Amino acid sequence: MLEDLLGRSFPYLRLSVTEACNFRCSYCLPDGYKKTGVSDFLSADEIIRLVSGFADLGVRKVRLTGGEPTLRRDIPTIASAISALGRIETLAMTTNGYNLKTQAGIFADSGINALNVSIDSLQADKFHRITGHDKLKDILEGIDLARKAGIKPIKINCVLIKGVNDDEWPDFVALARREDISIRFIELMQTGDNGDYFRKHHLSGEVLQAYLTAEGFAPLPRSATGGPALEYGHPDHGGRIGIIAPYSKDFCTTCNRLRVTARGDLRLCLFGEFGYGLRPYLQSADQRNELTQRITDLLSYKTRSHNLGQGVTGLTPHLASIGG
């Protein structure tokens, strides 16, 4: 198992498969995706070699993300090939849900067995304003189809946006209770491009924690391959609420994930200052040992913590560029 100098191990890889996105989320790509340079994102073959190498190093959970991963037509091919390796227990995808209604069954058949769908408002007009798309109803129907196709768990990602969706916490909690679905609230993070938006709309996860406690939720234990969320459960129903609070003290001590960008750069931290190119090691299957050695060596550069609290956003102009 991969370990860094601080003894943290890394069973979880977050892999961006594209920088492109069709949405214009106000905190991420408010002016839409603008292509920069050549879009030479990792090919399906390069991705499989990469995941095989990480599997050799003990990775058992892979999340496909982006940009919007479902914009890649070969995503079912990629997912099927990763499943066929037989070594990845959880093959997850984070999506804006745009293509779920038409493709939920295809995603399930290709081996995706965990899904996070981003929904920042349960009000159709507000959802439209935040994302630029009047698609809330279709996305909720897509979630239902994904569930019927057998994908479990399905979680909803909701970014905490002060003055925009903090009036909707009771509605999200009611949804969790009614549908037995988990909601992940994500603290808004500052990135290179969204400083003004961040200063206006950032809300600490602690405020939500206090609300959940008052509603009878209690913290649950964390699993080894689990994500960064602090999870809360309720004695009366199965729906869980998670809070991802990167600004909280000690957030980085439980870091168990590495990221690779759509262009094949290893990022040791979401807000790190460096990307380390792995692409040269993905050109043929017989480079596998070189690849795993390179990843192992690079891990010694992983730092104790990000410096987001000091406004250091590293290389990340927006999360679409690295895979949130």
Site string for ligand SAM, 187-226 (x = CB under 6 A): -xx-x--x--------------------------------
62: left (phi over 0), alpha (psi -120 to 50) or beta: beta
The single residue among 108, 186, 308, 315 that binds ligand SAM, judged by CB under 6 A, is: 186
Stretch that binds ligand SAM, among 21-29, 49-57, 143-151, 269-277 (CB under 6 A): 21-29
DSSP state of 72: S
Q: How many residues bind ligand SF4 (CB under 6 A)?
A: 11
Name residue 28's beta-bridge partners. none
Contact call for residue 120 and ligand SF4 (CB under 6 A): no
Given a contact cutoff of 8 angstroms between Cβ atoms, the answer to whether 257 and 14 are in contact is yes
CA–CA separation, 106 vs 245, rounded Å?
A: 33
Tell me the two tokens of residue 247.
């600004």
Amino acid 152 reads K
Q: Which of residues 54-113 bind ligand SAM (CB under 6 A)?
A: 65-66, 68, 94-96
Round to whole Å and give the CA distance between 103 and 76.
10
The pair of three-digit structure tokens given for residue 229, joined into one six-digit string = 């969320």
Separation in Å, CA 156 to CA 45, 113, 151, 270, 283: 30, 15, 13, 21, 36
Task: Give the nearest distance from C-beta 264 to ligand SF4 in angstroms.
Answer: 19
When the beta carbons of 292 and 313 are compared against ligand SAM, the nearer one is 313
Among 10, 23, 54, 169, binds ligand SF4 (CB under 6 A): 23
Q: From its phi and psi, is residue 215 left (phi > 0), alpha (psi between -120 and 50) or beta? A: alpha
Asked if 29 interacts with ligand SF4 (CB under 6 A), we say yes
DSSP per position, 86-153: S--SEEEEEE-STTHHHHHHHHHHTT--EEEEE-S-SSHHHHHHHHS---HHHHHHHHHHHHHTT---
Residues 299, 6: Cα–Cα separation, whole Å: 10
Task: Find the shortest distance in angstroms from Cβ 22 to ligand SF4.
Answer: 7
71 interface partner picked from ligand SF4, ligand SAM, none, CB below 5 to 8 A per type = none
Least distance in angstroms from the C-beta of 293 to ligand SAM: 30
Task: Kindly tell me which residue out of 99, 118, 182, 209 binds ligand SAM, with binding defined by CB under 6 A.
Answer: 118
Cβ proximity to ligand SF4: between 51 and 71 the closer is 71
Report which of 270, 301, 299, 264 is spatially closest to residue 283, judged by C-alpha positions: 264
How far apart CA 199 and CA 274 sit, in angstroms, is 25
Indicate the residue among 162 and 237 with the shorter CB distance to ligand SAM: 162
Range in contact with ligand SF4 (rule: CB under 6 A) among 9-17, 23-31, 53-61, 282-290? 23-31
Q: Which does 29 bind (CB under 5 to 8 A by kind): ligand SAM, ligand SF4, none?
A: ligand SF4
Which partner, ligand SAM, ligand SF4, none, binds residue 65 by CB below 5 to 8 Å per kind?
A: ligand SAM
Contacts with ligand SAM by CB under 6 A lie at: 21, 27-28, 65-66, 68, 94-96, 118, 157, 159, 186, 188-189, 191, 194, 319-320, 324
Which residues of this chain interact with ligand SF4, rule CB under 6 A? 21, 23, 25, 28-29, 66-68, 96, 118, 320
